[in-house]
A and B are shown apart, each in its own frame.
Chain A
Amino acid sequence: MEMKQIEKRLIMDGSELIVESLARSGADVFIGYPITPANLIYSYSHERFPSFFAAPDEISTLQWMCGFSASGKFPVTASSFPGFALMLESVNMAYMMELPMLIILVQRLGPATGTATCGAQGDLALLNGMISGGFSLPVISISSMKDCWELPNKAMKMAIDLRTPVVLLTSKEEIMTLAGFSISQLPEINLIKRNYYSGSETFVPYQTDDSLVPEFLPVGNTYHQVRFTASTHDKKGIIQNTSKEAIDNTKRLEYKHRQNLEHHLYYEYDRQSGADTLIISYGITASAAREAARLLRADGKKISLLIPKTLLPVSPAYFEIMNGYEKVVIAEENLSGQYRNILFGECGNKNVVGVNGIAEMITPSRIIDEIINI
């Protein structure tokens, strides 16, 4: 009981932590269109962000964000599937222009407008394929209240370091649930500094070094001409058909994410020596997976747990971990096992099983049953 006296426990929700974390990280502007269950992020941002814009729709939201990003400001929005679907073309634009920004996607039950007030994990397959041409959009997933504090900062840093839109993936249950939460041990959130091109030679907007990430300059600066282009373009940002330089530039968009992934790789690996079964889960279902692991261990069963947070692009590190187990159980709150399919395809793998469902949280007992049945 003495510990609890010392701890500074507050009643808070994940949205509050996310917004405070982003504000401390230096995010400049929140632009949003309201949608359940992302509205808490919207209202906290109104209170906490230096600038706030209520856009008239989600296409405008993303376009305004692109304008802010092209001008050197870091924009954030939060939405849910119906709104996010409208953003899709503009996210592709931001990706092609290489504009850093953060999109918080709060998952709810679909299809279509589904049930706005019911949580879900149904959008990962969309995120995996939404950049036309087989490109990866970075997706960071929140799996705890602590993640709500730490990961927005890391996702924002990834967006800036790699010059790309990043999706921070969460769900209704994670960001609307009130919890008694200790803020005593929260690590400090550091302001993320932006580096701009400072050379005297002509600025070439999409020229890169070995990092494959071009240096940045905002439009409106009075030193160098800047071009941003959504269509296939060369290093100067000038539209091309399919010239080699332009297609190499387009391919680079994927390569830069793969090459730099290890610097932005976040996961929890709770390894138990002697375990032959690994539970993998992310997002809201990670809470059921943690509880399942605790209960199984209390029963004397050896079990390991992997909670990937950098979901996309998929890191080879996850396969290396999985290779150490005879069985893998992947739990997620969607009908078909979207991450399982991303990892193993429709054909699957005989050693890998899914625990899936919609419209209610996956329970620890369902995960345990699957493991005991194995």
Chain B
Amino acid sequence: MKDFLTDAALPFCKGCGHNHVAVNTEKALQLLGYDPLNVVLVTDIGCHGIIDKSFLTHTVHGLHGRSVALATGISAALNDPGKKVIVFIGDGGATIGMQHLIDAAHNGFNMTVVIHNNMLYGMTGGQPSEFTPSGFKTPTLPEGGTKTGYDICKIISAVDGVSYVSRLEGISDFSEPLAEAFSRKGFSLVEVMEICPSYGVKSNPGMKLSNVVENAGLSIKKFVDKETEVYKTGIKKDLQPLFSESDAIVTLFPTKLEKPVRLMLCGSAGEGVQAAAEFLLKAGMTSGLNGIKKGSYPVTVGVGFSAAEVILSSEEILYTGSPNPDILCVTSADGLEYARKTLSGMKGGKLFIDSSLQVPETKAEIISFPFRERGGAKNSSIYGIFYLLMKTGMFPMEALLGVFNENKIAKKFDVDKMFQLLNEPWAEGMSDKKMTVSK
């Protein structure tokens, strides 16, 4: 029979239930025939956690209340039901780390959690925990607890995925029920009820553990014992690279720009601003240019403004900002609001703006066009980029058409109608008229 504990005296106060947990854990592991090196004991902060040095298993001593989460990582990494991961945690740790307990039980991570519940914080002077039952006194709660403490067994029993839950009194020999918990695959939990000899006994003279448990309305019993699915860590093989040379963009329309062009598209979420900007970027690249594209939008997807910046250049693009764009295309009121700061700083360049919008003060050349009316709100950005390319000719229209037609948006989109509408003399006239008015 292999030893799991060193020969040295256990590090706990005389009469502390933690002694019993340590001794019964050794006995339970011996009953099950484990080898110490197939056992990982994970502890955290609290008196119970100083047990590490006494165990001959692997030991990991972590942060207050986090031992279950730490053990989750170990259990998932070992991914081996033959290894026994045991967590020692106190009622204080179980309070602060409740989420970890629920999560580990929910997922069926393979471990046994042993909660040392002495109903107070023993290491820091006997403060109450959320497990302190009604009427139970501690040095900083001399009037006694006024609320029922957490019934952790009930809480965890309610979680799908848990295989075993029991509560027992931490006296005499409880190695067999402990061994039963250790033998279950998946998530098991044992709550061991104790009274802290330093603070619990002194604050509640003459009170017996069984009375405390009974008064607290806590049942000493097995709550759950069932077959569950053990969490199995997926390890994918034959993973494909995220990108490959076969995706490279071919230069079809060699173009040279005298200087970099910085564009900004400003519209509303759901109106294709980001897609339009990506079409410009890709079309620029098929024209042999260097390019970048970035988006700006509020946190909530699908509401408010949507803006994108595109830089196209024959040279290497070092700086990816566009504080003063050469071309600003505004297709909605949301977009105009977002663009105001940029507009006021523009010292030249071109502003393409939807005819429905009031043109703000700017030094940019204003080109007004009814993008929303012609293309509909959803397509206003697409109309915007084709229109601005028609007017600027910074790279061949074929490049943009080629990129656009490859995209799924194009399938439901009438390109011929768009060109007809973009070229309509009436529209031109409107834009000229608006320009005149705004001046």
- B292 A222 Cβ-Cβ under 8 A: no
Residues of A within 8 A of B293 (CB): 177-179
Interface size on A, residues (CB 8 A): 80
- A53 B52 Cβ-Cβ under 8 A: no
Interface size on B, residues (CB 8 A): 73
Instruction: Knowing A225-B37, A288-B319, say if A71 contacts B77 (CB, 8 Å).
Output: yes
Q: Which of B219-227, B238-246, B389-397, B431-439 contacts A (4 or more CB under 8 A)?
A: B238-246
- A5 B318 Cβ-Cβ under 8 A: no
- A176 B295 Cβ-Cβ under 8 A: yes
- A219 B58 Cβ-Cβ under 8 A: yes
Find A9's partner among B35, B45, B100, B249 (CB 8 Å cutoff).
B249
Find A64's partner among B59, B63, B69, B254 (CB 8 Å cutoff).
B69
Q: Which of A193-201, A207-215, A252-260, A357-365 contacts B (4 or more CB under 8 A)?
A: A357-365
- A228 B77 Cβ-Cβ under 8 A: no
- A65 B73 Cβ-Cβ under 8 A: yes
- B239 A50 Cβ-Cβ under 8 A: yes
Indicate whether A4 reaches chain B with its CB closer than 8 angstroms.
yes
Residues of B within 8 A of A51 (CB): 233-236
Residues of A within 8 A of B37 (CB): 220-225
- A363 B285 Cβ-Cβ under 8 A: no
- Bound-state Cα–Cα, A65 to B237, Å: 21
**What is the CB-to-nearest-CB distance from A340 to chain B, in angstroms, rounded to a whole number?**
21
Residues of B within 8 A of A50 (CB): 235-237, 239
- Bound-state Cα–Cα, A7 to B74, Å: 45
Q: Find residues 69-116 in chain B having any chain A CB closer than 8 Å to their own CB.
A: 69-78, 80, 83, 99-100, 103
Indicate whether B66 reaches chain A with its CB closer than 8 angstroms.
yes
- A68 B296 Cβ-Cβ under 8 A: no
Residues of B within 8 A of A294 (CB): 318
Q: Find residues 31-89 in chain A having any chain B CB closer than 8 Å to their own CB.
A: 31, 36, 44, 47-53, 56-57, 59-60, 63-73, 75, 89
Indicate whether A19 reaches chain B with its CB closer than 8 angstroms.
yes
Residues of A within 8 A of B76 (CB): 53, 64, 67-68
- Bound-state Cα–Cα, A59 to B68, Å: 12
- B243 A183 Cβ-Cβ under 8 A: yes
Residues of B within 8 A of A347 (CB): none
- Bound-state Cα–Cα, A104 to B395, Å: 38
Find A360's partner among B83, B256, B299, B323 (CB 8 Å cutoff).
B323
- A5 B299 Cβ-Cβ under 8 A: no
- B61 A44 Cβ-Cβ under 8 A: no
Q: Find residues 212-243 in chain A having any chain B CB closer than 8 Å to their own CB.
A: 219-231, 237-239
- A364 B299 Cβ-Cβ under 8 A: no
Indicate whether A287 reaches chain B with its CB closer than 8 angstroms.
yes
- A72 B61 Cβ-Cβ under 8 A: no
- A9 B285 Cβ-Cβ under 8 A: yes
Indicate whether A297 reaches chain B with its CB closer than 8 angstroms.
no
- Bound-state Cα–Cα, A4 to B317, Å: 15
Residues of B within 8 A of A29 (CB): 77
* B 263-299 to A, binary, CB cutoff 8 A, 1 in contact else 0: 0000000000000001001101100111111111111
The chain A residue sitting closest to B315, CB to CB, is A294
- Bound-state Cα–Cα, A113 to B406, Å: 39
12 contacts between A and B (CB under 8 A): A64-B72, A67-B73, A117-B299, A118-B296, A179-B292, A179-B293, A179-B320, A183-B243, A225-B37, A231-B61, A361-B320, A361-B323
Q: Which 3 A-B pairs have the closest CB atoms?
A: A67-B73, A63-B69, A71-B77
Add 15 more A-B contacts to A183-B245, A220-B37 (CB < 8 A): A11-B278, A51-B236, A59-B66, A60-B99, A64-B69, A90-B63, A93-B66, A118-B296, A178-B281, A178-B293, A179-B320, A184-B245, A226-B58, A231-B61, A287-B320
Q: Which residues of B contact A (CB under 8 A)?
A: 35-38, 40, 45, 50, 52-53, 56-63, 66, 69-78, 80, 83, 99-100, 103, 233-237, 239, 241-243, 245, 247-251, 254, 256, 278, 281-282, 284-285, 288-299, 317-321, 323
